[in-house]
Structure formats: C-alpha cells, structure tokens
Amino acid sequence: MDFKTSLQTCFNKFLVIEGRARRSEAWWFYLFCFVASIVLSLVSSALHWLFSIATLVPTITVGIRRLQDTGKSGWWLLLSFVPVVGWIAVIILLALPGTPGPNEYGEDPTMAA
C-alpha cells in the first residue's frame, strides 16, 4: 500500500474499528502524523494541537485494526499508557506481521487488494 492510499484509507475509516489494517497502512499514516506534527509545531503551537486533536481518533482506530491484523485485541493499545516499556511493547506489536488468511477479526487485507 502506498502513502496516498494509506492516508485515504485511514481517513475514510476514521471511525471503523472492525477489520484489519496492513502494516504499510498503519506505518504510512503514523509517519504522516509524525512529520505533519513536527512541521505544524514549528509553524504554530495552536495548529499543532488542532492537528493532534483532529488525528487522534484515526490514529487510535488504525492502531486497533493493525493489532487485529496480528490476531490481537485492540485493547492491547492501552499498553501505550505505560511509559517507555508500554510504548516499546506497542511498537513491537504494531510491527508484527499480520496473520495469513482470515482471522477472528476479518479477511486478510493483503488478499483483498
């Protein structure tokens, strides 16, 4: 999945927690949010905060769908509230390869494309 398709998917599914998200979908979106946050924080603190608030829900939902692709519940995302160790654990979980074929959360997103 390329950058543009990833952003379109994440913003079109910003309230959808059902299903699964490919690694590329999640990581391109996270990279976009990270870079945009840095640029906006250099321009204006208010713009940075508005962007962060606007992308909060899509960031959470893509994380949930990404975890579901690995066969884990979206509740694992709550580990991110544990400083340092939790952040590292969530990054590792998000980086795991998805389960091949269908799992309890839906069809394999690599097969659907």
**pLDDT for position 53:** 95
Averaged confidence pLDDT in the chain:
92
**pLDDT for position 91:** 95
Which domain does 32 fall in, by range?
3-105
Total number of domains in the chain: 1
Question: Does some domain include residue 110?
Answer: no
Average pLDDT for 67-75: 95
Give me the sign of the Cα torsion angle 98, 104, 109, 113: positive
**pLDDT for position 113:** 54
pLDDT exceeds 80 at position 112: no
| Vertex 89: Cα angle to 51 and 78 (nearest 5) | 55
Q: How far apart are CA 24 and CA 26, in angstroms?
A: 5
Question: Does some domain include residue 19?
Answer: yes
Confidence of residue 9 (pLDDT cuts 50, 70, 90): confident
Confidence of residue 110 (pLDDT cuts 50, 70, 90): confident
Question: Does some domain include residue 71?
Answer: yes
Per-residue pLDDT tens for 10-49?
A: 888 888 899 999 999 999 999 999 999 999 999 999 999 9
Question: Does some domain include residue 112?
Answer: no
